[in-house]
Structure 1
Amino acid sequence: MAHGNRCCMYCGDDLSTDIDHFEPIAENPLRTFDWLNHLLACSECNSTHKKDRFPRHPETGAPLLIDPTAEDPFDHLYLGLDTGLYLGRTEKGRQTERVCGLNRDDLPEARCIARDGVVMCVDGWLSGREQGNERKMAVAVRTIRNQPFADVAQFMLRQAMLPRASAAFTFDLGEETLHHLRDPELRAALLV
């Protein structure tokens, strides 16, 4: 969530053409013109899945959707790098996955393709560093940052620093990629 350039704030697809009211107007008319309530969304998320759905906790009334403008989605969601599927860590994560359809159709496969793109760009960055080719390094960083499904790269970078990170990197070339994502120079370039 809160993905790359011109990407849906919910699913990460790069076909975003709609503006969604995160908190529906029917729920809270005062947020109709609240800038932080306007999210770029693909028509699939806006019109087919989320629509005006806005689940709340039955006792507290607190929203049960992740607000990508104010919350870290990875506090609530886990991304299976081998499958591209989101799994809810919390009730808010589970509701967000369900309401927004985060695992619908071709999204998991697109996340796996994004993962493979990160792997290729990391290899390109390392090759550029070995060759002293700063342009090649810059292109690799720019590509990772601006790809659709940029959440995949963010998840990989975060997971790489956790004690049991190898459990997340079980995909082909995962262990090698894990080692490279711990490189301080690469991390500094990507996390600016």
Structure 2
Amino acid sequence: MRRIELPRQLAVRAEQLTERIAGTAGEARTSEAKGLWKHTTHRRELVTPLRALLNEMAHGNRCCMYCGDDLSTDIDHFEPVAENPLRTFDWLNHLLSCTACNSSCKRDQFPRDPETGDPLLIDPTTEDPFDHLYLSLDTGLYRGLTEKGRQTERVCGLNRDDLPEARCIARDGVVMCVEGWLSGREKGDHRKMAIAVRTVRNQPFADVAQFMLRQALLPKASVAFAFDLGEEILRHLRDPELRAALLI
């Protein structure tokens, strides 16, 4: 996921507010940061435009950058304000999040490697989540491949409530859209092909389609596609033209 460059006007405003936070000493610094973030004027002039940029960056229909749920509205501070108030207005510290990930699960949690101090949460704007997480296409459950993946799954509750089932529904949606795309290509119906691509790209849990596309070219892809219609869809997801249309 590519982070959009922050427009100069917004960057200057963020720097000014960060300077105000830096000028506050001791324990009052966190309170000052939170107050500025919630201030009506700053929300209108800075926070709202930041959210619009994150909406543009997000996959699918404003998918949460942690769990993949759609229509997300929150700006999460990757490194929490309580942990580092000086990063409250740091554009590189902002991710689009659903309310559940932001307020119910992650909150102020920010695990670090005990030896290096590096964050043990995945930042999807700087690394590929699939280097750390494996998605079972059969169950919709995420499993950590690394300590960073395991901590992200735990802290953000990636397997909470109905998320696994929703990912399975997204998987089935990919299957149906691929079939529609293939039918459109066979008939020369470019409109049908375009609708199928748009649906996959904009559906909730857009991460499911991207995982399927990446897995399709791996040597043991058949293991990942061990679900109903999996073998058939695997063959189609290796089609170069289809891959070029669907990969983000």
TM-score range, shorter chain: over 0.9
**Selected match of 2:220 from 164, 167, 175:** 164
Aligned length: 192
Task: Give the equivalent residue in structure 1 for 2:195.
Answer: 139
Q: Matches of 1:187 and 1:3 in 2, distance apart?
A: 16
Q: Matches of 2:235 and 2:92 in 1, distance apart?
A: 37
| 1:179 matched to 2:235 | yes
Task: Give the equivalent residue in structure 1 for 2:8.
Answer: none
Q: Describe the superposition over 1:79-118 as per-residue Cα deviations: whole angstroms up to 9, x where unpaired.
A: 0000000000000000000000000000000000000000
**Selected match of 2:158 from 102, 113, 128:** 102
The correspondence of residues 52-131 of structure 1 with structure 2, limited to 5 A, is 52-131=108-187
How high is the TM-score relative to the length of structure 1? 0.97
Q: Matches of 1:184 and 1:42 in 2, distance apart?
A: 33
AA in 2 matched with 1:89: L
Q: Matches of 1:142 and 1:109 in 2, distance apart?
A: 22
Q: Matches of 1:122 and 1:10 in 2, distance apart?
A: 25
Q: Matches of 2:80 and 2:140 in 1, distance apart?
A: 29
| 1:16 matched to 2:98 | no
Larger Rg: 2
Residue 37 of structure 1: CA displacement?
Answer: 1.2
| 1:44 matched to 2:112 | no
How high is the TM-score relative to the length of structure 2? 0.75
SS in 1 for 2:74: strand
Greater helix fraction, Structure 1 or Structure 2? 2
SS in 2 for 1:129: helix
Which segment is superposed worse, 29-38 or 124-133? Answer: 29-38
Which segment is superposed worse, 34-43 or 175-184? Answer: 34-43
| 1:32 matched to 2:98 | no
In angstroms, what is the RMSD of aligned CA positions? 1.2
Residue 36 of structure 1: CA displacement?
Answer: 2.1
Q: Describe the superposition over 1:10-55 as per-residue Cα deviations: whole angstroms up to 9, x where unpaired.
A: 1111141211111111222221111121111111111110001000
Task: Give the equivalent residue in structure 1 for 2:27.
Answer: none
Does structure 1 conserve the Cα–Cα contact (< 8 Å) formed by 2:77 and 2:95?
yes
Q: Matches of 2:187 and 2:71 in 1, distance apart?
A: 36
Percent of counterpart pairs with the same letter?
A: 86
Q: Matches of 1:101 and 1:27 in 2, distance apart?
A: 20
Q: Matches of 1:191 and 1:157 in 2, distance apart?
A: 7
Q: Matches of 1:9 and 1:162 in 2, distance apart?
A: 25
AA in 1 matched with 2:117: G
Instruction: Show structure 1 runs of 4+ deviating over 3 A.
Output: none
SS in 2 for 1:16: coil
